[in-house]
Amino acid sequence: MPVELETKTLPAALALEPDDRIAGYASLFGLRDQGGDSVEPGAYARSLARLRERGGRVRMLWQHDPAQPVGIWDVVREDGRGLWVEGRLLPDVARAREARALIAAGALDGLSIGYRALKAARGPDGTRRLTEIELWEVSLVTFPMQAEARLSAKAAPSPAEMTRLARQFDAARRLIAGPALLSKGESE
């Protein structure tokens, strides 16, 4: 029988750093998604331990397409809130450059896990509670499954923008400090 890969999508607080590093929650515990599933704390622990033991890694894909890796997850860990991921988009990959532009513009706002449910039970409310998951990948996706959270990412300012902002801050500091408070050797 073929292994069936399931996906769970979560709009998350994914931040885009200047060096194309991204970070955020790929999954939040205890939230029922639109598919009627809820991931429980500890669900990823065994899968992550197995990956560490064999030197494997969770893949970063574009829209769950195994033919389109777009980066590398350097950190994948459970904490009290959910599954936290940190990684980097690969600038030599065209789709990764597109993903960066879409994230920066706010057009792409989701993370989604690709997994196989190893242990799950249906609760009285009909929610399928996932208690053990074999995690295969975390994808950047357009349409998230959990509508409660939203991706918030901004592109880093360009070097020219940073220089302009630094000049504005310096001018504001000088204005507030006044001539009497300027340090020796500083001229306006």
Residues sharing a CB contact under 8 Å with residue 9, sequence separation 6 or more, in sequence order? 33, 110, 111, 112, 113, 141, 143, 144, 145, 146
Predicted pLDDT of residue 164: 55
Q: Say if pTM beats, i.e. exceeds, 0.85.
A: no
> In angstroms, rounded to a whole number, what is the distance separating the alpha carbons of residues 8 and 22?
19
pLDDT (tens digit, 9 = 90+) per residue, 36-56? 999 999 999 999 999 999 999
CA distances from 153 to 5, 11, 71, 79 (A): 28, 11, 17, 21
Domain 21-176 listed as CATH 3.20.16: yes
Tokens at 12, concatenated: 């998350």
Q: How confident is the model at residue 90 (pLDDT cuts 50, 70, 90)?
A: very high
Given phi > 0 = left and psi -120 to 50 = alpha, else beta, which region is 168?
alpha
Please name the residue that has the structure tokens 């009285």: 124
Domain boundaries, the chain: 21-176
22-27 mean pLDDT: 88
- Which neighbouring-strand residues pair with 106? none
| Top mean-pLDDT range of 64-78, 94-108, 142-156, 168-182 | 64-78
Tokens at 87, concatenated: 């990684």
- Which neighbouring-strand residues pair with 140? 62, 111
Q: How confident is the model at residue 175 (pLDDT cuts 50, 70, 90)?
A: low
